[in-house]
Amino acid sequence: MTEISISARIPEDIFQELETFMKEESLEKSASIRKLLSEGLHHWKEERALKLLSEGKVTFLKAAQMSGISVWDLVDIVREKGVVWIKSEKYLADDIQKALE
């Protein structure tokens, strides 16, 4: 994997939290930032997929693909968060058809 170097300015209070994270996780600064960034992006993809699913803009299968998780894991998250995704029989039929393909 090719790595790209980036730089950013952050407020001092966030840096202090980063230092606490580094100590507790026994990681050096760049590894800590990579881990937090990766976790943050994973969370963002999941939330984005759930939002689009609840708005009826994507199918259940597409939401799972967008979030990078299995359909079964998405089922658990949808149930846990109480996301309503079946707005009509059309969406259900579309999801079933795509799952059977």
- Decide which of 85 and 7 is more confident: 7
Angle at 96 between CA 50 and CA 53, to 5 degrees: 15
Looking at residue 33, what is its pLDDT? 95
Q: For 34-88, how does the pLDDT look when each residue is reduced to its tens digit (9 = 90+)?
A: 999 999 999 999 999 999 999 888 988 999 999 999 999 999 999 999 888 776 6
pTM of the model: 0.75
Looking at residue 84, what is its pLDDT? 81
- Decide which of 26 and 84 is more confident: 26
Q: What is the C-alpha separation between 72 and 64, in angstroms, rounded?
A: 9
